[in-house]
């Protein structure tokens, strides 16, 4: 007799003996397995290797490990285990053989977010949830929102795709007032995708923007858009959208939300009632006040954000989105301004590495797709652009054409260079373009920096905004950014030593 999964809507429900297959053993997969064994479930973890530290801990937490390459053939051990639920790590596409087998066999497929929502009451009354997604800006907006909530004296948990599994936050014995959950399109796809799903009802939600990304995972742009749109489903208080991105506004208009939820737009223009925006260089709230038709609340100014290093247009947009989410949670504008005073962007997000001989070197390695690279390029009038990597099925023609007037030159790295070189030839034939041929990340970045140095003149910015993923030549985007920064510092130090020697 199959278990009534609808009854498993609390940490304190009877999870004992539930057979759960956990697919994948990254940070998310391990948090799922650890949670389920603590709940008393019978857990089989399927992962492609058994020598990692997490793999060695699987039997320690009371689960069983099945080592399998996880190709198209479904492991016999998983079939024999006969799981009642399959919890899939977000890296596995819905077309993966194991996921297809589950669907064909009638086995419900959950992601870690659904499990976390079901058991969110471990320590009493559950925290409110705020959901953050978008093609770009998710992490910065999640961190901004959490810092604003903390400045109001509440305890937030920034978690999810940001790097801290939501289940780890759920099980933290100290407890939290608000979960600010960053969600990838992969996580959203699996949120509520099974017939046994229960409704996640966030306090507030936002899709910051929408541009082509992860098309190979989703199988196309429409599926990617549909996954992102799920962030608004069942929102109770505020559906925050980007006035400059019509796709996000349509998502809100089409969303099935809780009665009374409001649509709150943000943008770099003058806001109407129920909006957040800019008026004469002042960031204002015209959404969360009684007299919003004729009044506005001042949050901060562009001049103040410039002093804090937070004045790039896409960062200002993220601040407005985060302010809307925080205001939905009851945070006063004074606390938002206080939070901004101490907020610092994470490394590799428009980070100034060096300013030497009138040339600024900026690391935005986190710009892993064209939409993010567009935001970076838009912040500077004269750029030598370092780009390239794994393009994830997208093309750069539109991006290059849009920014060709600001490009002093380009240096192309990565293994998928041919398409980028063609895009420059077709859309910006007057821009000097060099390619770096090589496989080793250290040598590639040293050569890229050397070439960029020769293209740049005083007043230019050498900008690492790859518009692509990093795993072809680097461990991750952080490794790519660190190697860029190391190469820049080495280059500028050498140039300084050479000038000093010339003066002797």
- Give the residue numbers of the binding site: 134-140
The sign one gets for the Cα dihedral 371, 481, 319, 230 is positive
DSSP 8-state assignment for residue 49 = -
DSSP 8-state assignment for residue 127 = P
Phi-psi region of 449 (alpha: psi -120 to 50; beta: other; left: phi over 0): alpha
Residue 504 CB partners (closer than 8 Å, separation 6+): none
CA separation for the pair 231, 132 (Å, rounded): 8
Angle CA 43–47–51, to nearest 5:
105
Beta bridge partners of 129: 179
Beta bridge partners of 47: 67
Contact assessment for residue 495 and residue 487, using Cβ atoms and an 8 Å cutoff: no
**DSSP code per residue over 403-467:** HGGGEEEEEE-SS-HHHHHHHHHHH-TTS-EEE---S-HHHHHHHHHHHHHHH--TT-EEEE--S
Q: Shortest CA distance to 111 belongs to which of 213, 8, 23, 191?
A: 191
Q: Which tokens hold the place of 174?
A: 């100290």
Q: Shortest CA distance to 134 belongs to which of 213, 240, 207?
A: 207
Distance of CA 501 to the CA centre of its chain: 46
CA separation for the pair 96, 189 (Å, rounded): 14
Residue 172 CB neighbours (<10 A): 15
CA separation for the pair 276, 119 (Å, rounded): 34
Binding residues for ATP: 134-140
Rg, Å, the chain Cα set: 24
């Amino acid at each position: 007799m199959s278990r009534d999964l609808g009854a498993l809507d609390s940490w304190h429900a009877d999870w004992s003996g539930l057979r759960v297959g956990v697919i994948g053993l990254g940070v998310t997969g391990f948090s799922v397995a650890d949670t389920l064994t603590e709940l008393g479930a019978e857990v089989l973890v399927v992962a492609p290797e058994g020598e990692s530290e997490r793999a060695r801990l699987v039997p320690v937490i009371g689960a069983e490990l099945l080592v399998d390459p996880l190709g198209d053939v479904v492991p016999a051990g998983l079939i024999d285990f006969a799981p009642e639920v399959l919890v899939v790590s977000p890296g596995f596409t819905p077309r993966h053989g194991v996921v297809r087998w589950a669907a064909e066999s009638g086995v419900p497929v959950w992601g870690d977010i659904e499990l976390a929502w079901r058991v969110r009451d471990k320590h009493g009354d559950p925290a409110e949830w705020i959901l953050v997604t978008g093609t770009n800006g998710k992490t910065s907006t999640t961190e901004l929102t959490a810092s604003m909530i903390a400045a109001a004296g509440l305890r937030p948990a920034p978690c999810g795709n940001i790097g801290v599994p939501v289940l780890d936050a759920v099980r933290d014995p100290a407890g939290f007032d608000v979960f600010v959950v960053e969600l990838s399109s992969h996580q959203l796809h699996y949120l509520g995708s099974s017939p046994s799903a229960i409704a996640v009802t966030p306090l507030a939600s936002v899709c910051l923007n929408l541009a082509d990304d992860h098309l190979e995972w989703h199988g196309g742009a429409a599926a990617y858009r549909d996954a992102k749109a799920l962030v608004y489903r069942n929102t109770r208080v505020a559906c925050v959208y980007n006035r400059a991105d019509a796709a996000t506004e349509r998502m809100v208009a089409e969303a099935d939300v809780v009665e009374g939820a409001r649509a709150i737009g943000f943008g770099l223009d003058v806001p109407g009632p129920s909006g957040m925006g800019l008026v004469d260089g002042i960031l204002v709230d015209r959404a969360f006040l009684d007299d919003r038709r004729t009044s506005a609340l001042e949050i901060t100014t562009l001049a103040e954000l410039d002093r804090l290093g937070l004045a790039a247009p896409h960062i200002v947009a993220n601040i407005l989105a985060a302010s809307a989410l925080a205001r939905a949670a009851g945070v006063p504008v004074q606390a938002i301004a206080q939070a901004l005073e101490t907020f610092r962007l994470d490394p590799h997000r428009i980070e100034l590495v060096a300013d030497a001989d009138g040339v600024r070197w900026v690391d935005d390695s986190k710009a892993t797709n064209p939409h993010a690279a567009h935001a970076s390029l838009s912040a500077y009038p004269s750029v030598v652009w370092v780009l390239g990597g794994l393009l994830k099925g997208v093309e750069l023609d539109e991006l290059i054409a849009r920014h060709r007037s600001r490009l002093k030159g380009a240096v192309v790295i990565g293994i998928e260079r041919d398409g980028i070189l063609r895009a420059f030839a077709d859309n910006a034939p007057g821009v000097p373009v060099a390619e770096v041929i090589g496989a080793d990340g250290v040598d590639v970045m040293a050569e890229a920096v050397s070439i960029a140095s020769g293209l740049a003149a005083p007043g230019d910015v050498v900008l690492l905004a790859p518009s692509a993923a990093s795993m072809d030549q680097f461990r991750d985007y952080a490794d790519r950014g660190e190697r860029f920064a190391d190469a820049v510092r080495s280059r500028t130090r050498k140039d300084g030593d050479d000038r000093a020697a010339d003066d002797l």
